[in-house]
Structures are given as structure tokens and as C-alpha cells.
């Protein structure tokens, strides 16, 4: 499929000209005569490169580029204007993430070469991101190999977290980072001995002190890998509690980054609906009751309520288990029903690691 380049200009003759210039290329050219039409296109389909004139009626090109940054973060942006003063150039580059600047009237060959260069940059970045996806997901699976009870946990946490992110209408770029952070939220556990991770008893104080180090260890790994602040925040703060009783920083309320509050809910829900060595799984009804009891204590009350509503909606529509199709409570079994859960919960001491 050819890469798409979107030109935005209020002058129809300009749009006709660029269409003719690129008619013999392997690029797919779309045009829009104002920012509103351009934003509609960006919402509907992937665009490799956005070329926007600055001085247009209504929303200016500069504001369009800024809006595109959150709406379509993968799109590479070019500012095109007849007034190339230093102030405009600096705002375009620093404030709107413009990668190139084209001055009107343009040289046709230069225009084609510039657009091709930017398209190639987009292709390289797209390939790198795909590689990152596979590498990061593989790392999450490697972490899970240390604990057979958590197989698939990171992927399920990501799916639950993205359900909430969609409901909160978070920007696409942030949702991508939430997916990565969900995959890697427990990456610090790679340094914890399996004898502690897989203990089928209540951990002693020294052992739990080791467990409590994993958010800092993981966050340091993410920082060294130059991952985004959103990913680092998820890894470091997903065990903070809304009432301030969590770790490692004892943050409370909205001092905890929203991305970490989202993943904390997803992590908690998946943990209590799957069997662990220290306790049995909760069935759906009891798991949701437990989530309700944690609102305003461990978990953000508003986002938890949103998540509970999403789960109820999915159950009514036949997909209560999230995007993976596995019903919550899949680890619930007859031994749990006979009371073993109560014994294992008491050994665990009531606190997730």
C-alpha cells in the first residue's frame, strides 16, 4: 500500500498544483482545503506525512500541526508558508514538531525531494517501532517465564489498561506508551529470585523488602533504554495506592500519574482473577466486589468505576473477559470453592506484590 501524504491549503490552485507534481509518483496524495477536513482525514486513516500551509482561515497551519501531534503522533509534519520569519520557524519546529519547513513559492524538484525524504523517515521510524513492539513483548514474556502463574499477565494488563485509556479518550501516543508500560510494568522482577516470586507461603519482611525494589529496578532499566516518561511512570508507580499506602514513593491521589493509576487497576484485576501460588483466583462477581471495595483505598475511585462499567458492558455483550476472550476468573476451580482460597489468602497477608 502506498504511503499517504496529506496537503492542506486554502488555495485550490496550490492543491491542484501539488496533485499534478506528485501524479507520477508512488505516493498517495490527499488534499484538504482547511484544518477541519484535514483533522477528519487524520482521524479516519493513517497519514505518513502532513504538509500544511500556515496562514489559513479558521485554524492556522501551526495549530493544525499541534493538534495532529496528539491525534496522529506517527505522522511526520512539514510547515509550508510564504512568510518564513524566524519566529514562525522556531514555533513550527519547537511547538508543533515540524520536521521540515517549505517556503512558497516552492521549487518543484526541491518539494518532491523533501517530501520523499520525509516519507523515508516515516518508513524507517515505522520499521523501528515494529521491531520495538516485538522486542518489548518478547521481554515481557521472558519475565513471565520466571513465574508460570503469570503467563499472559502482561498482555491482559495491557488490554484492560487500553480499555480504560480508550474510555478516557487519551491521545494515541499515550495509549501506545500505556501498552508498552503494561507489558513492562513488572520488568524489575527479572532481578528477584524465583524462590521469592514463586513462594506458596506468606513472605517474610526481608523477602517482601526485595519484592518492593522491583518498581525502582524496572524504572531504571526503562530510563537507560530511553523509554518515554509515561512508560517509566507506569513501571515505577504502578504499586502506589490512592490512599498513600503503596510503594516505592507513597504517593497518593492524583499525585500518582494517571497512566500508573490505570495500570494499577488492570494489574489488580488480572491478579485477583487468575490463580497465583499464594492464593486462588476470584470468580467474576467476587473480583468485581473486591475492586469496588478498593475504590479510594488502593485504586483511583473514578477510573475504577469506569472500568467496572466497561466490564459490565462487555459481559452483557458476551465478551466480559476483555480482548483476549478469556473470562476473568479463569483460574477459579473447585478447590477454591471448597475453601482453600481463604487459607492461601491468609498466608499472603492481603497485599499483592
- d(CA 179, CA 121) in angstroms, rounded, equals 24
Catalytic positions are: 189
Could you give the CA distance from residue 330 to residue 343 in angstroms, rounded to a whole number?
A: 20
pLDDT in tens, 179-218: 999 998 988 877 677 677 777 677 888 888 888 989 998 8
Residues 92-103: what's their mean pLDDT? 68
Interior angle at CA 154, CA 214 and CA 171, nearest 5:
100
Residue 85 banded pLDDT, cuts 50, 70, 90: low
pLDDT of amino acid 320: 46
Q: Is the pTM of this model over 0.75?
A: no
Instruction: Set out the domains of the chain in order of their start, with CATH numbers.
Output: 4-124 (3.40.50.2300), 146-348 (1.10.3210.10)
For residue 338, name the pLDDT band (cuts at 50, 70, 90).
Answer: very low
- Look at residue 3 in the predicted model and tell me its pLDDT: 92
User: Of all residues in the chain, what percent carry a pLDDT higher than 90?
Assistant: 41
Three-state DSSP string of the chain: CCCEEEEECCCHHHHHHHHHHCCCCCCEEEEECCHHHHHHHHHHCCCCEEEEECCCCCCCHHHHHHHHHHHCCCCEEEEEECCCCHHHHHHHHHHCCEEEEEECCCCHHHHHHHHHHHHHHHHHHHHHHHHHHHHHHHHHHHHHHCCHHHCCHHHHHHHHHHHHHHHCCCCHHHHHHHHHHHHHCCHHHHHCCHHHHCCCCCCCHHHHHHHCCHHHHHHHHHHHCCCCHHHHHHHHHCCCCCCCCCCCCCCCHHHCCHHHHHHHHHHHHHHHCCCECCECCCCHHHHHHHHHHHECCCECHHHHHHHHHHHHHHHHCCCCCCCCCCCCCCCCCHHHHHHHHHHHHHHHCCCCC
Top-confidence residue, 86 or 282 = 282
**In this predicted structure, what is the pLDDT of residue 177?**
93
Q: Give the count of beta carbons closer than 10 Å to the beta carbon of residue 15.
A: 19
**pLDDT above 80 (res 299):** yes
Tell me the average pLDDT of the chain: 80
Amino acid at each position: 500500500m502506498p504511503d499517504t501524504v496529506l496537503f492542506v491549503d486554502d488555495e485550490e490552485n496550490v492543491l491542484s498544483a501539488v496533485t499534478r507534481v506528485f501524479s507520477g509518483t508512488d505516493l498517495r496524495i490527499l488534499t484538504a482545503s482547511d484544518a477541519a477536513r484535514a483533522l477528519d482525514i487524520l482521524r479516519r486513516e493513517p497519514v505518513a506525512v502532513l504538509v500544511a500551509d500556515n496562514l489559513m482561515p479558521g485554524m492556522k497551519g501551526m495549530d493544525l500541526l499541534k493538534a495532529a501531534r496528539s491525534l496522529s503522533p506517527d505522522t511526520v509534519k512539514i510547515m509550508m508558508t510564504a512568510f518564513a520569519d524566524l519566529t514562525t520557524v522556531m514555533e513550527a519546529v519547537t511547538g508543533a514538531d515540524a520536521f521540515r519547513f517549505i517556503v512558497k513559492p516552492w521549487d518543484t524538484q526541491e518539494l518532491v525531494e523533501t517530501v520523499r525524504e520525509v516519507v523515508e523517515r516515516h518508513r524507517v521510524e515505522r520499521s523501528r517501532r515494529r521491531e520495538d513492539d516485538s522486542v518489548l513483548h518478547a521481554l515481557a514474556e521472558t519475565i513471565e517465564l520466571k513465574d508460570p502463574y503469570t503467563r499472559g499477565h502482561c498482555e491482559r494488563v495491557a488490554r484492560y489498561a487500553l480499555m480504560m485509556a480508550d474510555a478516557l479518550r487519551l491521545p494515541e501516543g499515550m495509549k501506545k506508551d500505556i501498552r508498552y508500560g503494561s507489558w513492562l510494568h513488572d520488568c524489575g522482577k527479572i532481578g528477584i529470585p524465583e524462590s521469592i516470586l514463586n513462594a506458596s507461603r506468606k513472605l517474610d519482611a526481608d523477602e517482601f523488602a526485595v519484592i518492593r525494589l522491583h518498581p525502582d529496578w524496572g524504572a531504571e532499566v526503562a530510563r537507560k533504554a530511553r523509554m518515554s516518561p509515561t512508560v517509566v511512570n507506569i513501571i515505577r508507580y504502578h504499586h502506589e495506592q490512592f490512599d498513600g499506602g503503596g510503594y516505592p514513593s507513597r504517593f497518593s491521589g492524583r499525585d500518582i500519574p494517571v497512566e500508573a493509576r490505570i495500570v494499577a487497576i488492570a494489574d489488580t484485576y488480572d491478579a485477583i482473577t487468575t490463580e497465583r501460588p499464594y492464593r486462588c483466583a476470584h470468580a467474576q462477581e467476587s473480583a468485581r466486589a473486591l475492586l469496588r471495595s478498593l475504590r479510594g483505598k488502593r485504586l483511583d475511585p473514578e477510573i475504577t468505576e469506569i472500568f467496572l462499567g466497561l466490564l459490565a458492558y462487555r459481559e452483557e455483550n458476551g465478551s466480559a473477559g476483555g480482548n483476549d476472550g478469556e473470562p476473568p476468573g479463569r483460574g477459579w476451580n473447585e478447590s477454591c470453592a471448597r475453601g482453600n482460597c481463604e487459607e492461601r489468602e491468609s498466608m499472603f497477608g492481603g497485599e499483592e506484590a
